[in-house]
Amino acid sequence: MKRDSRFHIAVIPGDGIGPEIVAASLQVLDILQERLGGIGFDFRHLEGGATLYQKTGNAFSDESMAVCKKADAVLFGAIGLPDVRYPDGTEISTQFDLRVEMDLYAGLRPIRSYPGLPRVLTDKRAALIDLVLVREQTEGLLYSRGRGTLEEDRIAWETMKISRNGSRRISEFAFRIAARRSKSRRRSGKVTCVDKANVLSSMAFFRKIFAEVAANHPEVKAEYAYVDATAMNLVKAPWEFDVLVTENAFGGILSDLAAGVVGSLGLAPSADIGDKHAVFQPAHGSAPYMAGQGIANPIAQILSVALMLDWLADQHGEPRLAHGARILERAVEKALTMICPIEFGGQDGTAAITKAIMTQIRKV
């Protein structure tokens, strides 16, 4: 257990709507502290992203990286501007640098429906959508970031990396998540391995390692599915899924698809987790076209704070933090029965959503 009751959080607001939604999440966390029995937070704000790259030619400094490594956790906004790119044509993506530097191998992407919001899917079972996508983040196809080659402007090559250790630890992570969910949500634990093992030997290897790990977790059901079929079934019957584990690039695509079936990336939090460090941010991008208008939905960022509290609770043996995460999740759910974000056809922007959640924190 942590000796003192204060936690040091590195905060990277980033670009576009990042500063607005991060500010909203810190307002919410400030109110939540009143319910945490003396626990507090110290914030260190850091620059990073496309705007910084425009000014300095560096998207994130070594000094800021060192601060992130020393912090108890990192709260991250959104990074990137479409017109600001590295010389190879790719966008600024500081979150990838953090994942590599701090070995944040597990991407956690919870997706759930909210009864108070309009549904994308007409089936009544859409109200039961509650799944987690676990994404391996240090290997896979995106391991090739910065390593690809272009031959005489004719052929571009990228290489997928799948290792035994990387596949084992992400599979173990997924089974731990499923076991925890089976206890807290009264559901039978199930992990679906999502791959393309029928075509790619690297994916067949991923599946093989998953099967070895599954044998050590007989209390959790293991299933196998190809990524293309999974994409279809996430649209047809997303309520059938519990925990999905997959490769880096597949996971990025499927997590956005899953967010779409509940209505918006604005509801989708995420966590990038390693053995010693973790970063918490919304699953959506920086949406610069919305910046400065007060219309950004801060819920994904606020729910990322709940993921941060849960992780800190596990790391430091502090149940008050886990209690705070449950308060925050219930406050969001309750608030969404009273307000409607703009992307769902409502009129509630950043300030109204934030205020509604803060009001509910004091009540739930």
For residue 96, CA distances in Å to 10, 113, 355 come to: 16, 28, 32
- Predicted confidence (pLDDT) per residue in 221-272, tens digit: 999 999 999 999 999 999 999 999 999 999 999 999 999 999 999 999 999 9
What share of residues in the chain are helix, strand, coil (percent, to 5)? 45, 20, 35
> Which residue segments constitute the domains of the chain, with CATH numbers given?
1-104+276-364 (3.40.718.10), 119-262 (3.40.718.10)
**CA–CA distance, 243 with 76 (Å, rounded to integer):** 24
Question: What's the chain's average pLDDT?
Answer: 94
As a residue count, the chain comes to: 364
Q: What are phi and psi of 243, to 5 degrees?
A: -120, 130
Residue 90's pLDDT band, with cuts at 50, 70 and 90, is confident
Residue 5's pLDDT band, with cuts at 50, 70 and 90, is confident
With a cut of 90, say whether residue 72 has pLDDT above it: yes
Q: Which of 21-35, 139-153, 202-216, 245-259 has the lowest mean pLDDT?
A: 139-153
pLDDT of residue 318: 94
With a cut of 90, say whether residue 291 has pLDDT above it: yes
With a cut of 80, say whether residue 4 has pLDDT above it: no
Contacts of 355 (CB under 8 A, 6+ apart): none
**CA–CA distance, 43 with 34 (Å, rounded to integer):** 17
**CA–CA distance, 60 with 48 (Å, rounded to integer):** 5
pLDDT of residue 187: 67
Percent of the chain scoring above 90 in pLDDT: 86
pLDDT, mean of residues 307-336: 96
With a cut of 90, say whether residue 183 has pLDDT above it: no
pLDDT of residue 96: 85
**What does the buried/exposed string (b/e) look like for 151-176 if buried means 16 or more CB atoms within 10 Å of the residue's CB?**
eeeeeeeeebbbbeebbebbbbbbbb
pLDDT, mean of residues 172-184: 93
Tokens (6 digits) for 115: 């009864």
With a cut of 90, say whether residue 91 has pLDDT above it: no
With a cut of 70, say whether residue 59 has pLDDT above it: yes
With a cut of 70, say whether residue 1 has pLDDT above it: no
The model scores a pTM over 0.85: yes
Residue 118's pLDDT band, with cuts at 50, 70 and 90, is very high
Pairing between strand 269-273 and 278-282?
antiparallel
pLDDT of residue 131: 96
Class of residue 278 by CB neighbours under 10 A (exposed 0-12, middle 13-18, buried 19+): buried
Please check whether residue 205 is in contact with residue 167, taking contact to mean a CB–CB distance below 8 angstroms.
yes
pLDDT, mean of residues 127-152: 91
**CA–CA distance, 19 with 10 (Å, rounded to integer):** 14
Residue 3's pLDDT band, with cuts at 50, 70 and 90, is low
With a cut of 60, say whether residue 125 has pLDDT above it: yes
Contacts of 222 (CB under 8 A, 6+ apart): 190, 191, 192, 193, 210, 211, 214
